[in-house]
Amino acid sequence: MSVLPIVARELRVAARQRRSFVVRVLAAAAAVAAGAFELWFAQDVRAGAGQGSGLFALLGTLTLGFGLVAGPLWTASTLCEERREGTLGLLFLTDLTAWDVVLGKLMAASVTALFALLAVLPVLAVSLLLGGVSLSQFGRAALVLGNTLWLSLTLGMAMSARCEQERSATALTVFALFLLAAVLPWAHATWGSARPTPESLAVLALSPLGAWWGVTTPVYAPAAPAFWVGLAGAHLLGWLALWSAARGTARAWRDTGDAARDGFWRRWAGHGDPARRREARRRWLERNPLVWLSARQTLKRAGLWGGVAFLLGAWVAARVLTGGTWWTPGLTLTSAWLLQAGLKWLAASEAAFRLAEDRRSGALELLLTSGLREREIVRGLEWGLRRLFWGPALGFLGVEAVLLAASYGLTPGFVLFAAALGGLLLWDLAVLGRVGLWYSLAGRQPQRAALRTVGRVLGVPWLAFAGVLFVVGVWNWSVVAVLWLGVCAVNNLRADRTARAGLETHLRAAAAGLPLPRRPQELALV
């Protein structure tokens, strides 16, 4: 008898799946494309060993980012549906233990990500042939990348075992990884010292980036303690998350009506004060009832405002604590662009889960029987998303304007470019909402719909921009900025038009459960 029967079965099934081969080929192709672009872009700047180190840094960083997002994409929703439908307890009617279930689910969900990592490593090894990278450095990078993937996947399993909604599990996984991979390294870089101390090693041990510093540093000997402590700490943290997932899985099927007893408090916290709810309902029902249904949860709006306020506070604190070196327009716009990416991801995720939940519960079919036309339903959903995200976005742009005005060396060119980026943020949020609604309507998995939305609206412009630069070459930064904005504008126009047509045409067919056309000419998004 097999020691881990579910693990053995899931590995056999995954080895025969077409998706495993497709993802592995796509990962290798993406690594080859990124490496080729890096070598072409840096051919006039670096030569010889410098090209090897540049290629190693780029591919290693991209692979590290892939390892961090693997948990929210593949394992954060593994156990949520079974917890919500109450079928998880059926597995424990057999001789299976909680560890059997958790390890089996982990293997089933993560084997595709593991294949993708194994496909990228040979491309990363090309940097050894170019020089500037040692064999021991490549080995340390492989250890860190595999360890980061392990930590991300196990954190996703732990959150999935504790939540009933996929969106909550995904959000908690992203927040935990953000604390470990962004907040802790930033705190160490801001208040730490160049020489490792017990306190700094304790901070690095909790972050998957602690060991990565030991890979990228030019001199390995001073960073050796941080590397091994960070590697061991992240690995043990992954086992702790897996133990938490097994414990949560074992107790999930025994949950009784404890959550129902505090249903009043949860309803009040989720929707706000009853008097204010009645007033808001009366006001919004006169305009469009979907606005009330889609954006009535005050706790969600408060959480979004709180998250944006936290990021802005950290941004301002970093500017104040780091001194005058950060008070430049270039670094201000770069930091703003990176922080805006998180807000865009939340908008894509919210839109992707919106219609998927309505389709699963049958609420979309009930809406179509209420007398509302397809265009009114779509417009109400879009208004709800704007009501949820445009307020924090405008607050973000206000803080960005204040910090930019206080920067040194501000020129009219930076002001125009910042204004264009601010308008692009609001435009991207609107397009992400509409495309996310369409992909959630056309697909069955909200996580995959969110990923496709981000790739279509935010990823395709990068690919098109790289292709245009490869053809015309790099002239100056003003031309590059105008070219980038032009590519984003064309992409948004195409994606918005296609998603609008798909939503208004196929909304009723999707509610009835009819299959949607996969590649209609008028709906070819990519």
Q: Which residues touch 159 (CB under 8 Å, ≥6 apart)? A: 76, 168, 169, 170, 172, 173, 176
For residue 189, what pLDDT is reported? 67
52 with 130: CB under 8 angstroms? yes
For residue 521, what pLDDT is reported? 40
State the residue for tokens 């790289």: 466
Give the span between the Cα atoms of 284 and 295, in whole angstroms.
10
Q: Measure Cα distances from 101 to 11, 90, 150 in Å.
A: 14, 11, 17
Give the span between the Cα atoms of 507 and 514, in whole angstroms.
10
Per-residue pLDDT of the chain (526 residues; tens, 9 = 90+): 455 666 777 777 777 778 788 888 888 998 888 888 787 776 655 555 567 888 898 899 999 989 998 888 888 888 887 777 677 777 777 777 888 888 888 888 888 899 899 999 999 999 888 888 888 899 999 999 999 999 999 999 999 888 877 777 887 888 888 888 877 777 666 655 545 555 566 666 677 777 887 788 777 777 777 788 888 888 999 999 999 998 888 876 665 444 434 444 444 444 555 676 677 677 766 667 777 666 566 667 777 888 788 878 877 777 777 665 566 787 788 888 888 888 898 888 888 887 777 777 777 777 777 777 778 888 888 888 888 898 889 988 988 888 888 887 778 878 888 888 889 999 999 999 999 988 888 766 777 788 889 888 998 898 888 777 777 766 666 777 788 888 999 999 999 998 988 888 888 777 666 666 554 443 444 3
User: Hey, how many other C-beta atoms are within 10 angstroms of the C-beta on 162?
Assistant: 20
For residue 266, what pLDDT is reported? 47
Largest CA distance in the chain: 73
This prediction has a pTM of: 0.74
**Domain boundary assignment for the chain:** 16-252, 272-526
For residue 195, what pLDDT is reported? 52
Task: Using alpha carbons only, give the angle 471, 475, 479 rounded to the nearest 5 degrees.
Answer: 95
- CA nearest 465: which of 59, 32, 37? 37
User: Hey, how many other C-beta atoms are within 10 angstroms of the C-beta on 492?
Assistant: 20
Give the rounded distance of the alpha carbon of 133 from its chain centre.
30
- CA nearest 319: which of 307, 305, 335? 335
For residue 326, what pLDDT is reported? 61
Q: Measure Cα distances from 409 to 47, 319, 336, 412 in Å.
A: 33, 16, 17, 10
DSSP H or E stretch at residue 338: helix 329-361
